[in-house]
Structure 1
Amino acid sequence: MDIAVLGAGALGSAIGGRLAQSGHAVTLINRNADHVDRMTHAGLMLDEGGRRDVVRVHARQTPDGATPVDLLIVLVKSYHTEEAIRSAQDLIGPGTTVLSLQNGLGQEDILIGVVGSERVIAGKTYVGGVMTAPGVISAGTAGKETIIGELSGALTPRVQAITQAFDAAGLRCIASPNIRGAMWDKLLVNVATGALAAITRLNYGNLYDIPEIAETAIAAVAEAMQVAAALDIELTTTHPGQAWDKAALGLGFEFKTSMLQSLEKGAPTEIDFVNGAVARLGREMAVPTPVNDTLVACIKGVERALSPKQEGQTA
């Protein structure tokens, strides 16, 4: 299978690297010139469980001039989704499937608006990754599941083929007839840890050592579950604490959430698509979400502190 990963940072490189390792032709696309150069000349280095694998991949900074692929995995930051998919038209041919594995909610609607509903399938992944240096990824793939599915709920041949490709690469994959529920189950995990880790600047080992943080996380997840119930979303998560526990399963002491990694780079976060989505949908469904509202406000404040407005500029 010809596969491209659009937004191949830490997570995209971990997933794309494992797929390349299993024999697929994989192109990793990332704007970071140092990351692309290192992968091109030395290979992609995946560190996991005390082992380093060097994987040969195709790497490029932009999709310009590329040829169409069978599968385009979208892993850009949520706020770049429309810009990225519009720039990737060279990768999209008559048989291309577009799969979003991004955090949060709402990206599928953006993709459908650009490439059409017939091309887009949805997915969520619990795989983790941290870029420790350009071209070097500390990967968390073992035992971490990825769930994909048609938004219609149909178990189509293309979903089954992608599931098999992931499984063969050691990326446990499940084809789901309830992908919307799976998307919300993953959202709950991001709600539990993303904003709290970013606000406190704590890695997982320290984050999980503070009872007050656990209590706040579980309260935020409980609100999200109430919103999901109001939307008639069928969850597999039955208790808020499950999302908090699942978030750290199999990840090391030093692991950092993607939201924290964004702030450490001085970049905006995906808060509007995570806790912000819970708050927005809560307002629409008349479900109070005070904990999530507070987390959104705190992250917005941290983002402003990292990138203050110019004096005299209006809101």
Structure 2
Amino acid sequence: MSCLFSRIAIVGAGAIGTYYGVRLGRAGADVRFLLRSDLDAVRRRGAMAIHENGATLELRTPAVFVRTEEIGAVDLVIVTLKTTANDRLAQLLPPLIGPDTVVLTLQNGLGSDELIASLVGAERVLGGLAFIASTRTAPGEVTCYHPGSITLGEFSGAPRERTRMLAAQFSAAGVTIKLADNLLAARWHKLVWNVPFNGLAVAAGGITTDRICADPRLAARVRALMREVQHAAAAFGITIADEFLQQQFDVTPPMDAYRPSSLVDFLAGREVEIEAIWGEPLRRAQAAGADVPELAKLYDELRTVPRRSSAN
């Protein structure tokens, strides 16, 4: 396959990084995965895999590395680390950057675009929102329950030719792509679902989205949090329609006993992305003069929820 981004580094080969990396690799790109604990197991197996719709898609003999210095400069870096590991980016990114390297972050919440821009330059940065339900089920293996889509945008403005070419490359790999004229607006839209459902799943003691929707008190909190995200976005000139809020609620009950990514991390004893998904939106909203008491309450609850042992 002839493509603009022929050499691609995946920084954070968990559920999302593995899924998109395998798809891009199977479509012909030279994909290089940064792995840590999974490295030896993936090398022994000789493949990375996606399990989806009863079928398995494998990327045979994947290029896997433990250090970005071993990967070297690439055309595209896709950052899919949890934001809780962003303090590592200052070390991880420089060996991957060549004269024309572009960095795409598919991280949650707010703040990652600005952080990466401060490290590599704003001109290099693209941002994306991954609307996908996938779980890492074994080293180098992902089960995808809903492939969803990626919303892709430029950090510094409207989509450019490179944005459209990357979108075409993802599309050729079987990924549904939407282009965002305003990346920040797209991120606030995603928070409409992430803030209430990821947050309450953890704050309520570790429950799935079906239980949140079925509980009148929790469902009311969901709607109040959605309205506050809408209100906060408006303080930055971003309009989120009432119909969008209703749609985001309505799509959730059919997911049944879905475990949002923050709940998966919580139950596994991993650190939850509190600052990116709740802390940074709260600080920005308050700085802009938006009244967001429910968001402030949820943020405080999440900061005091005891972390679970990974042995539980």
User: SS in structure 1 opposite 2:98?
Assistant: coil
Q: 1:186 aligns with which of 179, 190, 196?
A: 190
1:192·1:244 contact (CA, 8 Å) conserved in 2?
Answer: no
The CA deviation at 1:209 is 3.6
Tell me what 2:162 maps to.
Answer: 158
Match of 1:310 in 2: none
- What's the offset of the Cα at 1:77? 1.5
Alpha-carbon distance between aligned partners in 2 of 1:85 and 1:146, rounded to the nearest angstrom: 25
* Equivalent residues of 2:74, 2:97 under 8 A apart: yes
* Conserved? CA contact 1:185–1:235, under 8 Å: yes
TM superposition shift of 1:254? 5.0
- Find the residue that maps to 1:177 and give its secondary structure: coil
What's the counterpart of residue 311 of structure 1? none
Note the C-alpha offset of 1:141.
4.9
How many Å apart are 1:52 and its aligned residue?
Answer: 2.0
Percent same amino acid at aligned positions?
29
Instruction: Report the alpha carbon displacement of residue 128 of structure 1 after superposing the two structures with TM.
Output: 2.4
Structure 2: gaps (5+ residues):
1-5
Within a 5 Å distance, the mapping from 1:212-231 to structure 2 comes to 212-231=217-236
Alignment match, 2:287: 284
Paired residues in the alignment total: 302
Match of 1:299 in 2: 302
Q: 1:306 to 1:283 in 2, by over 3 A?
A: farther
Post-superposition shift, 1:129?
A: 1.4
In structure 2, the CA distance between the partners of 1:49 and 1:202, relative to structure 1 (3 Å rule), is farther
Judged with a 3 Å threshold, the aligned counterparts in structure 2 of structure 1 residues 221 and 30 are, in CA distance, closer, same or farther, namely farther
What displacement does 1:236 show? 6.0
Distance 1:137 1:119 in 2: 29
Q: Residue type matched to 1:91 in 2?
A: L
Q: What stretches of structure 1 of length at least 5 have no aligned partner?
A: 308-315
Instruction: Pick closer, same or farther for the CA change 1:287–1:191 going to 2, 3 Å.
Output: same
AA aligned to 1:258 is S
Tell me: CA distance 1:8–1:26, structure 2 relative to 1, closer, same or farther (3 Å).
Answer: same
Decide which of 240, 261, 266 is 1:263's aligned counterpart.
266
SS in 1 for 2:20: helix
**Aligned twin of 1:41:** 44
Q: Counterpart amino acid of 1:225?
A: Q
In 2, Cα distance between the equivalents of 1:306 and 1:52?
32
Counterpart residue number, 2:151: 147
- After superposition, where does 1:74-85 map in structure 2 within 5 Å? 74-85=79-90
| Deviation at residue 238 of structure 1 after TM alignment | 4.0
Question: Is 1:196 the counterpart of 2:200 in the alignment?
Answer: yes
Matched, 1:124 2:118: no
Q: What is the DSSP-based 3-state SS (H/G/I as helix, E as strand, rest coil) of the residue aligned with 1:55?
A: strand
Per the TM alignment, residue 246 of structure 1 is displaced from its structure 2 partner at its CA by 4.5
Deviations 1:226-256 (A, max 9, x none): 010011124466442323334677x5x4542
Task: Provide the alpha-carbon RMSD of the alignment.
Answer: 2.2
1:13 corresponds in structure 2 to 18
How many angstroms apart in 2 are the aligned matches of 1:157 and 1:306? Answer: 47
CA 1:30–1:195 in 2, change beyond 3 Å: closer, same or farther? farther
Encode CA deviations 1:17-64: one digit per residue, 9 max, x unaligned.
221222211122232x2x223333321121112222222222223313
* 1:85 shift after superposition: 4.2
Counterpart among 62, 73, 76 of residue 71 in structure 1 = 76
Whether the 8 Å CA contact 1:145–1:171 is kept in 2: the answer is yes
Instruction: Name the structure where strand makes up a greater proportion of residues.
Output: 2
Q: Does 1:242 align with 2:247?
A: yes
CA distance in 2: counterparts of 1:136 and 1:120, whole angstroms:
28
Shift of 1:68: 1.1
Change (3 A) 1:300 1:45: same
CA deviation map 1:122-166 (0-9, x unaligned): 111102211122222111453x12111112333212111110111
Which residue of the partner structure matches residue 272 of structure 1?
275
Matched, 1:27 2:32: yes
- 1:139/1:248 Cα in 2 relative to 1: closer, same or farther (>3 Å)? farther
Alpha-carbon distance in 2 for matches of 1:150, 1:237: 26
- Give the drift of 1:177: 1.6
